[in-house]
Amino acid sequence: MSEPHVAQRGPLAVTVEAGKEYWWCRCGLSQSQPFCDGSHRVGPFRPLRFRALRSETLYFCACKHTASPPLCDGSHKRL
Ligand code: FES
């Protein structure tokens, strides 16, 4: 598996908490999108750590093809 699985063709809105750490799923196999649940063990991908600078709603990439991980950059429109 060299390409990540497309979990969803569109971002997932998540309200994050300032100072809290999140692990964004890179492989697309997690059942807890957009975050890692350990399912990546079957392939080459590892999760990306993200620390929220402030409490706010962010749009996390769920297609796993963003060039600005972990956030959506609109890449799902080209898949
Ligand atoms: Fe996808 Fe961990 S489950 S990176």
Q: What does the pLDDT look like over 37-49, one tens digit per residue?
A: 999 998 899 999 9
Judge whether 5 lies within some domain. no
Judge whether 26 lies within some domain. yes
Residues spanned by the domain of 26? 12-70
Judge whether 58 lies within some domain. yes
Give me the CATH number covering residue 63. Answer: 3.40.5
Judge whether 7 lies within some domain. no
Distances (CA, A) of 52 to 9, 20, 43, 46, 75: 24, 6, 27, 19, 22
Please state the domain count of the chain. 1
**pLDDT at residue 1 is higher than 70:** no
User: Does any ligand 1 atom lie closer than 6 A to the CB of residue 70?
Assistant: no
Q: What does the pLDDT look like over 21-35, one tens digit per residue?
A: 999 999 999 999 999
Q: Best of 26, 35, 60, 64 to mutate for ligand 1, by most ligand atoms within 8 A of CB? A: 26
Distance 16 CA to ligand 1 centre (A): 19
Judge whether 40 lies within some domain. yes
- Whether residue 40 contacts residue 27, with contact meaning beta carbons closer than 8 Å, is answered with yes
Q: What predicted TM-score, i.e. pTM, was given to this entire model?
A: 0.94
